[in-house]
Structure 1
């Protein structure tokens, strides 16, 4: 897997909240997502599908990587969502598939969308015990599956666990290991206390330390906090440059940098970090064909 800043932050906007579409596009999130699932009541699902098309074609969406979260494909609403995408003039860059419990869920999405959305990628949201149990198989379900996403709220509901970092440490670790073993990205669940920036910064830092690629945002004010947490500071980049240079000088043999012994894993991690945020840090996030069409 090529190491790129694929997604530090993903901001969710309800499909029925058309007035918030522009704010979603301009939030600075690496991916702006319109939601057809939890934020839309059952009576408004059809309305949401109709309105959501404007999320991708609005002028403010130009150059923005846009996603849609559909309903679960084990029910009729999810299948209607997939069929609705056939008629959208501009297709989503990413489809988030919720409540994934087996690789078959992703295969269904691929079978329905392949004819109309050949460039669309998928994120699988794992939020049940069965989904976590099958995470390794789900992570390899499709070449277009780019990330696993942890859904903490439904996982807590299903297990009776407490919604805390400590209580969910195992679930998060299993998800990270499954995604990384498959060579794909992994996104952490949102923090629902939208006004507590300190708690968000703390949880995002813990998620980054555990190996997550990024974190879901449920409010635009959370995006800058998440982006900072998943981006290295100047001191970290400077140290990475020193490690890479030391590796070059020593033929990538074990050496000492700032009093610490470093070897091949450190050289490679530092090289990746500089590729992602250092030497190309002014570059835009890589866009997919659907995003390029909006530009």
Structure 2
């Protein structure tokens, strides 16, 4: 199954706690591609209902930034997770996407698909990969619904489940497997936030590593991290120029699904990759909206 290319690049995702709607409003102006309001890890059990009541009205407010707004809900095997879903289903103005947590199987994604219908049928799905079983079944999870949009690497919980250290080497297989599954189903792949706000060099190393593995972006916990992350997930001028040439070549070739550029035969995966590069370039201000399109 392949999902259609989307027009919103997901290079950065800024997390904000559900108890702070003021921070959510500020986050929308941070320049992040995605803002995720967290009802799960960032909220103590005793305040779950308060966070939900404070957060849900935000989706009825204007969103002039155009960034994607995601609601991170509690696990579906908890009472608060079911309350989150029930509340979302009753909204007149729903979030663009919902992030699922502690997912272990494709059945959970399919269940959420069934529960969020009507006005909520437009909601896309993000899934946090943070369990051993989820890692084992990540390909089934990635293909569980046409509403799947993004996988997020949950380093802390996953490393505990795998009984390994939280190092790039120890988690190389897990990261690569998730990136492979995301690519197989044309999903975005978001890396875990770098939690040391003083360590910008460490953030750069982590972002570069994720980009090399095929991740499309990295989550953030502070607005100062957004511009650094964008450096590693925004294409270079040379990549943009080559993508423009590839898209133009496919235009000229008609509907054959093949094109020739500089003597090389190009197939449709190259077109999809080029379209994504140009979308990222437009998002980063490297390309105007009315420039080369497929």
TM category, shorter = 0.7 to 0.9
Structure 1 range deviating more: 273-282 or 140-149: 273-282
> 2:73 & 2:106 partners in 1: Cα distance?
17
Name the structure 2 match of 1:264. Answer: 266
Q: Retained in 1: the 8 A contact 2:33–2:68? A: yes
CA RMSD, aligned part only? 2.8
Distance 1:283-1:193 versus aligned 2 partners, 3 A rule: farther
Structure 1 range deviating more: 157-166 or 240-249: 240-249
The TM-score, its normalising length taken from structure 2, stands at 0.84
Q: Retained in 1: the 8 A contact 2:126–2:148? A: yes
Shift of residue 274 of structure 1?
5.0
Name the structure 2 match of 1:292. Answer: none
Describe the SS at the equivalent of 2:225.
helix
Distance 1:221-1:142 versus aligned 2 partners, 3 A rule: same
Shift of residue 222 of structure 1?
1.2
Match of 2:38 among 35, 54, 57: 35
- How many residues in Structure 1 have an aligned counterpart in Structure 2? 277
Match of 2:139 among 126, 136, 139: 136
> 2:128 & 2:25 partners in 1: Cα distance?
25
Describe the SS at the equivalent of 1:166.
coil
Q: Retained in 2: the 8 A contact 1:139–1:179? A: yes
Unaligned runs of 5+ in 2: 254-258
Match of 1:85 among 84, 88, 92: 88
1:212 correspondence with 2:215? yes
Describe the SS at the equivalent of 1:27.
coil
The TM-score, its normalising length taken from structure 1, stands at 0.84
Distance 1:88-1:235 versus aligned 2 partners, 3 A rule: same
Deviations 1:112-139 (A, max 9, x none): 1113401111011110111000001111
Shift of residue 221 of structure 1?
1.2
Describe the SS at the equivalent of 1:264.
strand
> 1:163 & 1:152 partners in 2: Cα distance?
7
Match of 1:58 among 56, 61, 69: 61
Distance 1:48-1:243 versus aligned 2 partners, 3 A rule: closer
Unaligned runs of 5+ in 1: 256-261, 285-295
Structure 1 range deviating more: 45-54 or 178-187: 178-187
Q: Retained in 1: the 8 A contact 2:92–2:119? A: no
